[in-house]
Amino acid sequence: MLRRLVLLALASCIVSCASDVAGPLTDDFQAWLATNGYSSYDFVRADYGTQGSYGGKTENAPKVVNTPVVFIHGNSDSALRKSSAATGWSNSIEYFLEHGYTVAELYATSWQDTSALNAAKRTHDCTDLIRLRKFLEAVLAYTGAPKISVVSHSMGVTLARKIIKGGSVNAPDGKCDLGLPLNKKVEVMIGIAGANYGLCNCEGGSATLEKTCNRSNGLWPGDSCGLNYLDCGLFPLVWPCSGVNYSSFLMQLNSDKNKEGDYVFSMWSLSDDLIEYGNMVWGRSTSFIPTSDGKVIYHVYTHMETKELTYADQYQMVKYKTIPTTTE
């Protein structure tokens, strides 16, 4: 608890400082993107002003020394802090900058919009998957780095896992192929508060009422497991549970046992106000990436706080490939 109070005090400072973290992508990176055929993907997101994207070389940061880090946000969020609800990765980028990284080594782009009214409409569609995949490829080519690290949050976790794993996608907006796996070019993959086995709030009628919960490429957790029915967040379950049938997209993702990077870490909170149910989906933590080398479990952070207040832990895992020994 003391650690949490200290982090909260630091966070109040770093959030105010984070208002100084501004993009968009540097002129050098924008010019490179235009020359190399990436203009159509709109990685800059100028519609968000300075907060739609981040990263690139400058006169003061002309070289890449650290392994570049790509941050992928979640549903209705943004690359950098745009509002009190869409806080982006400003806290994390500020912390990384204060600890030896440069703008040439930290990258982010916004996907879709920040409207909470549209949150239930978003799925793992080809448009976003292709665009984010191209962003990873662009950062690798532009920096010339042999590997990158990826830090993701919420729906960004399952998007990130798929663009790294590559392969085909069957989505409402069509079929697409993301290409060969990129996992050999990923040093560290961090998934924060993801829904790798779906969301219990998506069981039952939600699977048809809300697009983001759909059974194909959404966050449907399955309606039953053995004799357990419409109670996926119950723990312990009344009956033994095995062979859950959940979202096709997630089942395909989790059946691929290739690791998303050299090191894979999962992070979540037992008090997550979006995932709820102590993070449990049919008796297992939905935020645990199956290929994980380690996990960090918090006790009182909200869904957004697992991203906003864990910048020091993110840094430790990315930089030193170890997980913290204590949590809030």
SS3 string, 64-120, reads CCCCCEEEECCCCCCCCCCCCCCCCCHHHHHHHHHCCCCHHHEEEECCCCCCHHHHH
Q: Which of 43-47, 112-116, 206-210, 302-306 has the lowest mean pLDDT?
A: 206-210
Confidence of residue 208 (pLDDT cuts 50, 70, 90): confident
Write down the pLDDT at residue 243.
87
Element housing 280 (H / E): strand 280-281
Write down the pLDDT at residue 205.
85
Write down the pLDDT at residue 15.
41
Mean pLDDT, the chain, whole residue set: 92
pLDDT of 113 over the 70 cut: yes
Q: Which of 8-12, 26-30, 205-209, 234-238 has the lowest mean pLDDT?
A: 8-12
Write down the pLDDT at residue 10.
39
Phi, psi dihedral angles at 174 (to 5 degrees): 125, 180
pTM: 0.92
pLDDT of 5 over the 70 cut: no
Write down the pLDDT at residue 327.
53
Q: Find where tokens 């039952």 sit.
A: 204
Confidence of residue 18 (pLDDT cuts 50, 70, 90): very low
Residues whose CB falls within 8 Å of the CB of residue 78, separated by 6 or more in sequence, listed in order: 48, 51, 52, 86, 88, 110, 114
Alpha helices in the chain (DSSP H): 2-18, 27-35, 90-98, 126-143, 155-165, 206-209, 248-255, 305-308, 311-320
Q: Which residue has the higher pLDDT, 2 or 12?
A: 12
pLDDT of 20 over the 90 cut: no
Q: Are 102 and 56 in contact (CB under 8 A)?
A: no
Write down the pLDDT at residue 16.
40
Residue 12: alpha-carbon gap to chain centroid:
23
Cβ density class 264-294: b for 16+ within 10 Å, e for less: bbbbbbebbebbebebbbbbebbbbbbbbbe
**Of all residues in the chain, what percent carry a pLDDT higher than 70?**
93
Write down the pLDDT at residue 326.
61
pLDDT of 293 over the 70 cut: yes
Q: Which residue has the higher pLDDT, 3 or 89?
A: 89
Write down the pLDDT at residue 325.
79
- Across 238-264, average pLDDT: 95
pLDDT of 178 over the 60 cut: yes
Q: Which sign, positive or negative, has the C-alpha torsion 8, 301, 70, 20?
A: negative
Write down the pLDDT at residue 19.
52
pLDDT of 17 over the 60 cut: no
Write down the pLDDT at residue 328.
60
Element housing 297 (H / E): strand 294-298
* Structural domain boundaries in the chain: 2-320
pLDDT of 6 over the 90 cut: no
Write down the pLDDT at residue 219.
97
Write down the pLDDT at residue 2.
30
pLDDT of 159 over the 80 cut: yes
pLDDT of 1 over the 60 cut: no
pLDDT of 169 over the 80 cut: yes
Does the 2-320 domain belong in CATH 3.40.50.1820? yes
